[in-house]
Amino acid sequence: MVQIISRLLNKKPNFYMVLMLFVLLFSGCTNNIVDSNVEIPERKWTYRNKIKVQFEIKDNSKSYNIYFKLRHTADYRYANIFIMAHFKDGKQINTKRYQYKLAKNDGEWLGSGSGNVFNYTLPMLTNYKFAHAGKFEVEVEQNMRDNPLLEIADAGILVSEVK
């Protein structure tokens, strides 16, 4: 690592070397087990289009956070969203329904945004301890009355180790 930095300082920076340096520096700073985003075709999230994420827990003595990630446009019609989450542990499946508030009462979006798109990272399970190490799956489906649910750009799951 020190050699790479000294080369960058002694030579005119090469784009690929700078990119590699940033990847090396920031890859060790994350505690994410999985961070997925699935694009929703034509921004129309149907009941059949379930977001599935598989991951492996190697150390079940640690605590983990599981988040639902969502991006929608300003044309999304509702101030909230309902989802069904299916947590799969081998043959056992636990299902839980979540409701997330996405806008204030005056209509202002709660998510961070840039232009017409708003982002959310919403808690599903916090400080969660898995019963055992192994492979797991989370499957999320939209659970609103509209099918398809319009103006949802993408959705995903973030699993991170609690530090």
Let me know whether 89 and 9 are in one domain: no
CATH number where 136 lies? 2.60.120
Give the Cβ contact number of residue 78 at 10 Å. Answer: 15
Let me know whether 23 and 85 are in one domain: no
Average pLDDT on 130-150 reads 97
Q: Which residues contact 76 (CB under 8 A, 6 or more apart)?
A: 102, 118, 150, 151, 152
Let me know whether 13 and 90 are in one domain: no
Tell me which residue range forms the domain holding 76: 32-161
Residue range 122-131, pLDDT digits in tens: 999 999 999 9
Let me know whether 25 and 91 are in one domain: no
Residue range 38-91, pLDDT digits in tens: 999 999 999 999 999 999 999 999 999 999 999 999 999 999 999 999 999 988
Let me know whether 135 and 111 are in one domain: yes
Let me know whether 108 and 40 are in one domain: yes
Domain count, the chain: 2
Please tell me the number of Cα atoms within 13 Å of 47 on its side-chain side.
5
